[in-house]
Amino acid sequence: MLKTIKIEDINQVTSSRQVSDDQALFTVKEIISQVKEKKDQAVIEYTSLFDQVYQEDYRISQDQIDLAYQHIDDDLINDLKIAYQNIRKFHERQMPRAYQYTMDKDSLVGQLIRPIERVGIYVPGGTAAYPSTVLMNAVPAQVAQVKDIVMISPPNKEGKISDIILAAAKIAGVTEIYQVGGAQGIAALAYGTETIKPVSKIVGPGNIYVALAKKEVFGQVGIDMIAGPSEVLIYADDSSNPKFVAADLLAQAEHDEMARAILVSDSINFVQAVNEELSLQLKSLSRQAIARKSLETNGYAIIVDNQEEAIQAVNIIAPEHLELMVENAEAIIARIKNAGAIFVGPYSPEPLGDYIAGPNHTLPTSGSARFSSPLSTDDFVKKMSYIRFSKQGLSAVQESIQRLANKEGLSAHAQAIKVRF
């Protein structure tokens, strides 16, 4: 089931992660161009073309949101509220702080924190509904005190946004909701239409068209990241339960055929036991065909000789999700350099993080955990520095500034200091 390789062949795992599609990029650029030019008309036409829904008024009213909320089972509403509270508590502790300090009585410098005023959240829709995505993207924006949290999501086959999505948006404090998705939705958020005012930043996952559109509009707006296929790496040994490991690999594989499920172990017998469990558990999955294709295409078992090699493999791959299912797992955390999120021990499976634990599930993919972080309140604020010197404070450093400015050939910089004295 899983392709078994040695650590020497780890490039097989890392080299095939970047997806490029020139035809999709051509399509995305054309869609963005049309939305910039025709605005609402283009949004409506593309929604009709791609989602088979024609709707001139695609803003969701408060009445529609309230009605959707009433349709959701009380237990599910309670589940969403528990998740909301846990996510909020975690992200409240992330908020960056303002500060100032004096170098002496004549000089003061500091940092200011300001929320981004208007952000856009993309929530995948159509055939699926992901209320967890709503919470994970909207709650840190709410904690950061973003004034306008604008959500877009494509319509489902009934021509509407799922009730559970709207209910999650109500709980999370989303202020505007529009029934539009794809590259046309990203373009509408970035450039604005008659219906949607432009935002300053766009966050949230989507398909390749959404990812490429976010990449194209970056600069006009900020973005969180370019999300690739979801992935999990599980480091497990003979002390682990192969049923648990197989179940967690399948939980990732069922996302889509491009999802990546990777096992690292020092025991070939354990890998065989996991493969047997994968075959058994696959039979009962509702998304069996997708999970099977994912495992066959992107599933790997990397055999290592010892823990040192296992940790080396983890840090090279830099997985989106890392599960440590070995003895003394907590002792390994300090040695992990690259991972989006770490799940420690047999009772901390990745779906715990997806839904309810609190840390954000919007994580760096495709090895980008080497240089980037999960979505956080930092993504929804701006930091500004400020400087206040007195005449005496500036006088004390004037000669240094002038020498440096002249050395760089910037005589007007030097003059701007000199003229004050």
Active-site residue list: 320-321
Q: Which of 240, 238, 211, 244 has its CA nearest to residue 225?
A: 211
Between the alpha carbon of residue 253 and those of residues 93, 97, 270, 282, 340, the distances in Å are 32, 39, 19, 10, 17
Rounded to an integer, what distance in angstroms lies between the CA atom of residue 390 and that of residue 1?
Answer: 71
Residue 306, judged by CB atoms within 10 A of its CB (0-12, 13-18, 19+), counts as: exposed
- DSSP for 76-129 reads HHHHHHHHHHHHHHHHHTT----EEEEEETTEEEEEEEEE-SEEEEE---TT--
- Which residue(s) pair with 59 in the sheet? 178
| Unique residue bearing structure tokens 């003059």 | 415
> In sequence order, which residues have a C-beta less than 8 Å from that of residue 159 and are 6 or more positions away?
53, 55
Beta carbons within 10 angstroms of residue 99's beta carbon: 10
Task: State both tokens at 72.
Answer: 């959701």
**Per-residue tokens: 340:** 């989006």
Neighbouring residues of 381: CB distance < 8 A, sequence distance ≥ 6: 95, 96, 113, 114, 115, 116, 144
Phi, psi at 225, each rounded to 5°: -170, 165
Local structure of residue 262 (DSSP, 8 states) = E
